[in-house]
Copies of this chain bind each other. A is one copy, B any other.
């Protein structure tokens, strides 16, 4: 999917919501446990209930990997029921030496048909570039994450005369590897105070924003500070939507939760994106 196509979807749906399919087999509604593939059945119903309210789905790969081979089967089947016009993110946080990153790229872009994959920057250019070979396929690079551990290394100051943080150097360097048409960045919603520094370095890139809701980030803050003229944000919500209810009404309740977020997003889009 191209950047223009993604922005079109955002305008059409008045939403920049990404639904996190972090499906934990231990949290499934009781009545699904008898189905052939409960994880897939849960995802299928969540997708059916929310597809008109969101522009992206993001399965965190760990949840599937933890199930062994069956988890990968559930994931592949899930991919197949996501409508074509919805952006898909393999939240895998991969990254390895060149010939190995190529294999990960093959796994997520070919074996499965994801539009994008999250990648960790620590190993540098040749660990990231193998994911950048196909048009319409994206790298979403970790820059400033939402967790407490982001303080340990991402926020270290560099001896460069500019008092820059490591995450700023990651943005600056990686922005030379690909344009805003192939690269996005993970910026945690809990890091709103740094979003202006991010936007100075990457004004046009989309940011994938986890950490709204359960982790305490504010949708209003991140939208006000982070939006650009093409929206430029995908805000992820997982637990708040997919586990809105643990009963037979889980899909209906997920829809209600997604709708509440979408309405808030509609207001932010009108307020902060000039095109709308």
B residues less than 8 Å from A12 (CB atoms): none
Contact between chains at A124 and B151 (CB < 8 Å): yes
Q: How far apart are A59's CB and chain B's nearest CB, in angstroms?
A: 11
Is there contact, CB below 8 Å, between B149 and A120?
A: no
Chain A window 82-114, contacts with chain B (Cβ cutoff 8 Å), 1 for yes, 0 for no: 000000000101111110110110110001100
In the assembled complex, which residues on chain B have CB atoms less than 8 Å from the CB atom of A156?
158, 160, 166, 169
Which of A65, A67, A100, A146 counts the most B-chain CB atoms under 10 A from its CB? A65
Taking CB atoms, residues of chain B closer than 8 Å to A170 are 153
A169 and B149 form a contact (CB under 8 A): no
Q: Tell me the smallest distance from the CB of A140 to a CB of chain B, in Å.
A: 13
Q: Contacts of A216 on B, CB cut-off 8 Å?
A: none
A78: Cβ under 8 A from any B Cβ: no
Residue pair A104, B65 in contact (C-beta under 8 Å): yes
- In the assembled complex, the CB of A39 is this many whole angstroms from the nearest CB of chain B, namely 13
Q: Name A95-150 residues within 8 Å CB distance of B.
A: 95-98, 100-101, 103-104, 106-107, 111-112, 120-128, 142, 145-150
Contact in complex: B122, A63 (CB < 8 Å): no
Q: A69-77, A199-207, A240-248, A265-273: which lies at the B interface? A: A69-77
Q: Is the beta-carbon distance between A107 and B65 smaller than 8 angstroms?
A: yes
Q: Are A159 and B153 in contact (CB under 8 A)?
A: no
